Amino acid sequence: MVRMNDVTMVYESSGTVALDGIDVEIKEGEFVFLVGPSGSGKTTLMKLITGEIYATSGSVIVNDFDMSNIKRRKLPKVRRTLGVIFQDYRLIENMTVYDNVAFAMRVVGASNREIRKRVPYVLELVGLEGREKRLPNELSGGEQQRVAIARALVNSPRMIVADEPTGNLDPVRSLELMLLFEKINEMGTTILVVTHEKELVNAFNKRTITIDGGHKISDGTKGYFGYDIE
């Protein structure tokens, strides 16, 4: 699924070493939290997985694609095996909820018939039935994040990568969202959640990888640990 061996990432423009010889392996069907303080390298690690940046050294394998030297034109293929979710939802503002989700299917060349069948199913799965015709700005933060999850799920990706998905949500909505991720995971999709929220991580007894200063400092299933949170 994801295999990183001795990965180092140095940003050329600033000379910052974001990751320093890190090893990470995530297996098919796992639910993994990736935690660490700001600037620890979490987002860099995520960007390496989605192919937004290339590692300075080491190897990165994602869903059988070698991301270390993948050609740009091949990136859409990798991204179609991933569902990516961001803290700020990243929905297309002038598209309805339905179109935002259907859009991800059109990208992969799905037929109108497939779209008409699949989109309502996924919207129901994330609890957004009846909201199809709304625009993103007519929804609450929690609902917008659910649209983003529906969009990530609609093409049945092998893995969902979520970067601080609960960052803009209150504790109740955050918990609901995590339960939704758990449900999706039980259906067979691998989940990687990057987060700051100690309570959430501790509430779910899942594998947690902690990184700090570009190094992996812990990897286990005992909850959120490895550094103090203010």
Binding residues for other proteins (CB under 8 A) = 50, 52, 72-73, 75-80, 84, 90-92, 94, 103-104, 106-109, 111-112, 151, 155
Tell me how many helices (H) and strands (E) the chain has.
7, 10
Tokens of 49: 């997985």
> Which CB, 80 or 198, lies closer to other proteins?
80
Residue 117 phi/psi, 5-degree rounding, is -85, -45
The Cα 203–Cα 195 span in angstroms is 13
- Phi and psi dihedrals of 208, rounded to 5? -130, 125
**Closer by beta carbon to other proteins, 103 or else 225:** 103
d(Cα 183, Cα 224) in Å, to the nearest integer? 21
Residue 91 to residue 96: CA distance in whole angstroms = 9
Q: Which one-letter DSSP state was computed for residue 15?
A: -
CB of 177 to other proteins, least distance (A): 19
Give the nearer residue to other proteins in terms of CB position, either 17 or 135.
135
The CB-of-113 to other proteins minimum distance in angstroms stands at: 9
CB of 111: closest distance to other proteins in angstroms? 5
Least spacing, CB of residue 8 vs other proteins, in Å:
22
> Pick from 167, 165, 137, 170: which is nearest to 152 by CA?
165
- Nearest distance from residue 53's CB to other proteins, in Å? 10
Which two three-digit tokens encode residue 38?
Answer: 């700001």
Q: How far is the CB of 75 from other proteins (least distance, A)?
A: 8
Nearer to other proteins, 8 or 50 (CB): 50
**Cβ-based nearer residue to other proteins, 86 or 224:** 86
At 93, which amino acid appears? E
CA angle 147, 151, 153 (to 5 degrees): 115
Residue placing its CB nearer to other proteins in the complex, 15 or 109: 109
Strand order in the sheet with 31-35: 82-85, 159-163, 190-195, 31-35, 207-212, 215-220
